Amino acid sequence: MNKYYSIVLWFEYYEIEGFNNGIREILFGSFEWSDCQYEKEWEADSWKEEGYRKIRIVSRLTSERPDPEVYGKYRQDSCGDPPCKSVSYERIQS
C-alpha cells in the first residue's frame, strides 16, 4: 500500500480577544501583529466602555493562507512575511 502525504504550511494569525461577562470574544484579527497593535491602541477605550475586559493580542496557527489581495501576492507564494511558522505532513488515506 502506498503512503501519500500532503504538505501543510502553518501561518501565525493574530487576534484581539476580550472578555465580556466572562465570555471570550474575538474583536479583531489579522496576519499582521502591527495591525492588531494599532487596532488595540485605537479601540481599547471604546471596547472597555462596551464592557470588555482582559483585552489582549493572542496568536494561533492556521493553515489558511493570507489573502493576496489584502496582504500581497508574495505572501501567497512563499513562507515569507507573515512567516510560515511550521510545515507539517499529513497522511492522506488511500
At 19, phi and psi to the nearest 5?
-115, 130
Pair type for strands 4-20 and 23-30:
antiparallel
Please give the pLDDT value at position 6: 73
Please give the pLDDT value at position 75: 47
Please give the pLDDT value at position 87: 62
Pair type for strands 4-20 and 84-92:
antiparallel
pTM over 0.85: no
Could you state, in order of their start, the residue ranges of all structural domains in the chain?
A: 4-92
pLDDT tens digits for the chain (94 residues)? Answer: 567 777 778 888 999 999 999 999 999 999 999 999 999 999 999 999 999 999 999 999 988 888 878 877 544 444 544 456 666 666 655 5
